[in-house]
Amino acid sequence: MINSLVFPRPSEAFKFASTRFDGSRKSKYSKPRMELTLTQPDDWHLHLRDGDLLQAVAPHSAKHFGRAIIMPNLKPPITTTAAAVAYRESILKALPADSNFTPLMTLYLTDTTSPNEIKLARRSGVVFAVKLYPAGATTNSQDGVTDLFGKCLPVLEEMVEENMPLLVHGEVTDPDVDVFDREKVFIDTVLQPLIQRLPRLKVVMEHITTMDAVRFVESGEEGFLAATVTPQHLILNRNALFQGGLQPHNYCLPVLKRETHRQAIVSAVTSGSKRFFLGTDSAPHEKQRKECSCGCAGIFNAPVAISLYAKVFEEAGALDKLEAFTSFNGPDFYGLPRNTSKIKLTKASWKVPDSLSFSFGNIIPMFAGETLEWQPCVGEKAEMLNEVQEVGANKG
Ligand SMILES: NC(=O)N[C@@H](CC(=O)O)C(=O)O
Ligand SMILES: [Zn+2]
Ligand SMILES: [Zn+2]
């Protein structure tokens, strides 16, 4: 009997494919099991790295996502179309044989990127965006841009011509600017003037962290200005960096902000606005490089991201808006077709592995060792990541 289900704001766009209820048991654990079927999501901001790390992490993204925008901040960075084509080949080789995952490549903008490189990128058919890292803003950004207006205007104008989006790590690097204010100052001093100067440039503000960014994106022109949002910036505030001691695995850039900012981002993504879409910023670093005297910025969230996004939308009473955020807004902005395949999430508890071990070392996933709801299913089977524990109808 399915009599106790309360679906948050059901709508046509969002369907529970089926609901099951183990009516044979009556215990305090007996709960209707909800299943959620979504058009396969894409990840519009992903770090796959290269070498051993690429082999280790690529399958985790390929399991849940159809496509991903691949960040170019390797060492050395992917600054040319030729390098992007080669990097794409190594990503494809790192995927499981049966995977349909499609990497969408990006170029790393430098002071010396030529307008012709943008033409080549567009013609290649495999490069979908150009990434702006202000020099020194984040991991492997030392070759980034030192003076956007002084050095890059011809390239940006060519990007307008070629309808090539600019993806932005939106933080100033001035050491005099407080680290928590760097996004807001970037909006005021770089993004706002950029958009005024080139209103036909498509811009994605990556991994937004503040209510200032939310307002800025909402005030822009739909189809020209959008933002990606990570699970960590939807779920954690800056207290998570210091809870019970320093928490290096919650450290990423832009750094987590205070609770009011988190709430503003949750409201924005769950509002149904088309300007916000899924971008995990899954950014793996080997455990020793996180747990050391000068730990790297970046959170590896690929295995948990889709569960966490579902949690955020469920808690906001907006599960009916989840699919547009995960699967429609991104391709619509990029002018790409939406995926046709589906993925399923089951409302069942599963334990995130404490650590993923590889020959080169370990990677600690976001929420390591914790229990999450919304278990991703691959094909018809629940995905067994690690000691998946069901705490629903089968117990007691
Ligand atoms: N987000 C991060 O904290 N780190 C990213 C770089 C980035 O996206 O800024 C990385 O490459 O490790
Ligand atoms: Zn970044
Ligand atoms: Zn990133």
Residues in the chain: 396
Q: Is 169 in the pocket of ligand 1 (CB under 6 A)?
A: yes
Give a yes or no: residue 313 inside a domain: yes
User: What is the residue-averaged pLDDT of the chain?
Assistant: 90
Query: In this predicted model, what pLDDT tens digit does every residue of 234-283 receive, in sequence order?
Result: 999 999 999 999 999 999 999 999 999 999 999 999 999 999 999 999 99
Give a yes or no: residue 85 inside a domain: yes
CB–CB of 44/228 below 8 Å? yes
Looking at residues 25-49, what average pLDDT do you find?
81
> At residue 5, does pLDDT exceed 80?
no
Give a yes or no: residue 231 inside a domain: yes
Domain count within the chain: 1
- Full residue range of the structural domain in which residue 191 is found: 41-389
Q: Is 81 in the pocket of ligand 1 (CB under 6 A)?
A: no
Q: Is 139 in the pocket of ligand 1 (CB under 6 A)?
A: yes
Q: 358: which strand partners?
A: 361
Q: Is 252 in the pocket of ligand 1 (CB under 6 A)?
A: yes
Q: Which residue has the higher pLDDT, 331 or 30?
A: 331
**Ligand 1 mutation pick, 43, 75, 139, max ligand atoms within 8 A of CB:** 139
Shortest-distance Cα residue to atom 4 of ligand 1: 298
pLDDT band, residue 38 (cuts 50/70/90): very high
Shortest-distance Cα residue to atom 12 of ligand 1: 298
> At residue 25, does pLDDT exceed 60?
no
Shortest-distance Cα residue to atom 6 of ligand 1: 139
> At residue 17, does pLDDT exceed 70?
no
CATH of the domain at 264: 3.20.20.140
Nearest to 67 by CA among 100, 39, 106: 100
pLDDT reported for residue 54: 98
Q: How far is CA 284 from CA 37, 188, 295, 374, 382, in A?
A: 28, 31, 12, 23, 25
Report the nearest atom of ligand 1 relative to the CA of 298.
Answer: 3
Looking at residues 155-176, what average pLDDT do you find?
98
Give a yes or no: residue 34 inside a domain: no
Place of tokens 């524990």: 389
- Type of residue numbered 43: D
Query: In this predicted model, what pLDDT tens digit does every residue of 40-91 receive, in sequence order?
Result: 999 999 999 999 999 999 999 999 999 999 999 999 999 999 999 999 999 9
Looking at residues 8-35, what average pLDDT do you find?
46
Give a yes or no: residue 1 inside a domain: no
pLDDT reported for residue 26: 41
pLDDT reported for residue 379: 55
pLDDT band, residue 1 (cuts 50/70/90): very low
User: How remote is the CA of residue 366 from the centroid of ligand 1, in Å?
Assistant: 14
> At residue 173, does pLDDT exceed 50?
yes
pLDDT band, residue 31 (cuts 50/70/90): low
User: How remote is the CA of residue 160 from the centroid of ligand 3, in Å?
Assistant: 23
Q: Which ligand is nearest to the CA of 48?
A: 1
ipTM of the complex: 0.99
Q: How far is CA 135 from CA 110, 131, 147, 172, 297, in A?
A: 9, 12, 9, 9, 15
Give a yes or no: residue 344 inside a domain: yes
**Ligand 1 mutation pick, 238, 252, 285, 363, max ligand atoms within 8 A of CB:** 252
User: How remote is the CA of residue 252 from the centroid of ligand 2, in Å?
Assistant: 9
Report the nearest atom of ligand 1 relative to the CA of 297.
Answer: 3
Percent of the chain with pLDDT over 90: 86
Shortest-distance Cα residue to atom 5 of ligand 1: 298
Give a yes or no: residue 336 inside a domain: yes
pLDDT reported for residue 30: 52
Query: In this predicted model, what pLDDT tens digit does every residue of 180-229 receive, in sequence order?
Result: 999 999 999 999 999 999 999 999 999 999 999 999 999 999 999 999 99
- Distance in angstroms (rounded) separating the CA atoms of residues 193 and 201: 12
Query: In this predicted model, what pLDDT tens digit does every residue of 113-139 receive, in sequence order?
Result: 999 999 999 999 999 999 999 999 999
Please give all residues whose CB falls under 5 A of ion ligand 3, grouped by chain where several chains appear.
281
